[in-house]
Amino acid sequence: MLKKFITADNSESFMNEEVGESYHSHTGGVEEALKKYAVPCKIKELAKTGKIRILDVCFGMGYNSAMAISVALEENPDCEIEVVGLEYDQNIISKIQEVNPPIAFFSHYKKLTPQALGFTEGNVSVKVLLGDAREMVKTLSENHFDAVFFDPFSPKTAPEMWQEHFFAEMYRVMKNSAILATYSCARMARDNMSKAGLMYDDGPILGRRGPGTIATKWMDIFSNP
């Protein structure tokens, strides 16, 4: 059962009563999409290069990648953008029709339904691969993505999503220059990132919660931003 609620930034989200967790933080789903994902993954800077490939893990209603596209197009309207989303629940994809977050590109995400899992709009292509993200990721090419938005339910609720072998897949599909961002700073998640070969650091702090985590294949990305 999905129950709608309004987050502190006035954007809509849902509470999944079976899982016991919401799709976005109560402090604000839109703010989180910008500050926990687009900014630490340097989407604005990547837009200047003219081409960005984003992996939106646990796509849900796609706030994170819709925000990144909006940020990138504002910086460079000609930027070529490829988004691949991984999501296993058709129900949450159908909920895209019921929300209107203040994200410029989100109106185009309304084209996504369980029957139509992809679209192209100008230089932007968005495709959602329906299925268990841990399996679907294996179909993706190595060294492909510039940014990974890693947004499963929490390590407490969904520990299976924060395991070494899944992070090893993230490592495989990330370019050497890529950045992975997630909202969690859980020790277990960070340890498993390390075991998979990723190097991590604190991500941004939002509200009164702990920092997120950013991870990369090469430490010098953190020291030479």
Ligand X SMILES: C[S@@+](CC[C@H](N)C(=O)[O-])C[C@H]1O[C@@H](n2cnc3c(N)ncnc32)[C@H](O)[C@@H]1O
Binding site for ligand X (CB under 6 A): 23, 58-64, 86-89, 92, 132-134, 151-153, 158, 161
Our CB check for ligand X shows the closer of 63 and 200 to be 63
Bridge partners of residue 5, in order along the sequence: 13
**3-class SS of residue 196:** coil
CB of 60 to ligand X, least distance (A): 3
Listing DSSP states for 1-20 in one string gives: -EEEEE-TTS-EEEEETTTT
The CA–CA distances, whole Å, from 82 to 56, 151, 210 equal: 10, 18, 31
The CA–CA distances, whole Å, from 97 to 28, 46, 87, 112, 126 equal: 19, 29, 16, 9, 16
Our CB check for ligand X shows the closer of 79 and 152 to be 152
Q: Using alpha carbons only, give the angle 196, 180, 184 rounded to the nearest 5 degrees.
A: 85
Our CB check for ligand X shows the closer of 88 and 119 to be 88
Our CB check for ligand X shows the closer of 92 and 221 to be 92
Our CB check for ligand X shows the closer of 98 and 132 to be 132
CB of 218 to ligand X, least distance (A): 26
DSSP 8-state secondary structure symbol assigned to residue 113:
B
CA atoms within 13 A on the CB side of 197: 12
Our CB check for ligand X shows the closer of 153 and 167 to be 153
CB of 95 to ligand X, least distance (A): 8
CB of 78 to ligand X, least distance (A): 26
CB of 77 to ligand X, least distance (A): 24
91: enclosing H helix or E strand: helix 90-94
CB of 27 to ligand X, least distance (A): 14
The residue number with the shortest CB distance to ligand X is 60
